[in-house]
Amino acid sequence: MQDLTALLFDKDGTLVHFDRTWGRAAGAVMRQMARDDAHAVARLEAVSHYLPDEERFLPTSPLVSGSSAHYGPLWAHALGRPADGDFLAEIDRLFAAAGLANLTPIGHPARALQRLKSAGFALGIVTNDAEENARQQSEALGFLDLLEAVHGYDSGFGSKPGPGMVAAFAARFGHRPDAMAVIGDSAHDLAAARGAGARFILVRSGPAPVDDLVGDADLVVDSVDDLPDALPAPAGKASSLAGENAV
């Protein structure tokens, strides 16, 4: 993994614990969207592949990697409502509040990102969450000010698995695509990286099995906490990540 200058992080399953954050939040959001109609809640749980007693999603859930633009039409059909902009905005608003209330990081992402930033990497987030929600969560976890940009599904660059938000970061900040790496836990992250000409670092911290992605990854780590010791500092930077003390 030589010659990297920029690291773009997926959020959920990479920096934020998916089930402890969104699994706990989902029940409340479904009840609010269904106006506490038990039958409607059950329909939302079914199309979401959600296990309410365990407060988690099955790996097959469309919510694991997709944005509300992806699963929203399924919810709209289950509730008999139009899948218009107001409907999707309501989902995003409710999930933003519930997600922030249940926000659980994976390991110590602020510490890891601080070490990477200090070593000279440009950092960003590329997520299928809404941009504002990603910003709020990044601020709450203490690393928003370390990021050059936060690209969400609604930032104008498309959503993953498309390459738009990765390519936009390269163009905006002048990085060669092959000098960037996307760090993520899903096939959507892999496709977004490869589509933009970037490299892909797989983390094993997400909610779904990743064994089928290992062979396509340029590097595999258990979590973001492992990255500072796994990556050489960008060329021309005096400090070595492996030699730095953790913050």
Q: State the Cα torsion 230-147-211-161 to the nearest 10°.
A: -140
Considering the entire predicted model, what is its pTM?
0.86
pLDDT value at position 246?
38
196-223 per-position pLDDT tens digit: 999 999 999 999 899 999 999 999 999 9
pLDDT value at position 236?
67
CATH of the domain at 153: 3.40.50.1000
How many CB atoms are located within 10 Å of the residue 24 CB? 18
Which domain-ending residue is among 57, 75, 101? 101
Summary mean pLDDT of the chain:
93
Overall average pLDDT of the 96-103 stretch: 95
- 53 and 159 in a single domain? The answer is no
pLDDT at 69 over 50: yes
**85-89, 224-228, 237-241: which has the minimum mean pLDDT?**
237-241
pLDDT at 72 over 70: yes
Q: Note whether 218 and 7 are within 8 A (CB).
A: no
- 155 and 207 in a single domain? The answer is yes
Helix, strand or coil, per DSSP, at residue 17: coil
- 129 and 217 in a single domain? The answer is yes
Domain that holds residue 151: 6-17+105-243
- 22 and 87 in a single domain? The answer is yes
- 11 and 22 in a single domain? The answer is no
List, in sequence order, the alpha helices (H) in the chain.
18, 24-33, 38-48, 68-79, 85-101, 109-118, 131-140, 164-173, 187-196, 227-230
pLDDT value at position 243?
44
- 73 and 89 in a single domain? The answer is yes
Tell me what percent of the residues of the chain surpass a pLDDT of 70: 95
Which domain-ending residue is among 48, 77, 101? 101
- 138 and 201 in a single domain? The answer is yes
pLDDT at 35 over 80: yes
Where is pLDDT greater, at 238 or 39? 39
- 11 and 124 in a single domain? The answer is yes
44-53 per-position pLDDT tens digit: 999 999 999 9
Q: How far is CA 132 from the centre of its chain?
A: 13
- 118 and 90 in a single domain? The answer is no
Q: How far is CA 95 from the centre of its chain?
A: 14
Overall average pLDDT of the 166-194 stretch: 97
In the chain, how many domains are there? Answer: 2
Q: Classify residue 18 by burial, with Cβ atoms within 10 Å: 0-12, 13-18, 19+.
A: buried
- The closest alpha carbon to 69, from 190, 160, 166, belongs to 160
pLDDT band at 239 (very low <50, low <70, confident <90, very high): very low
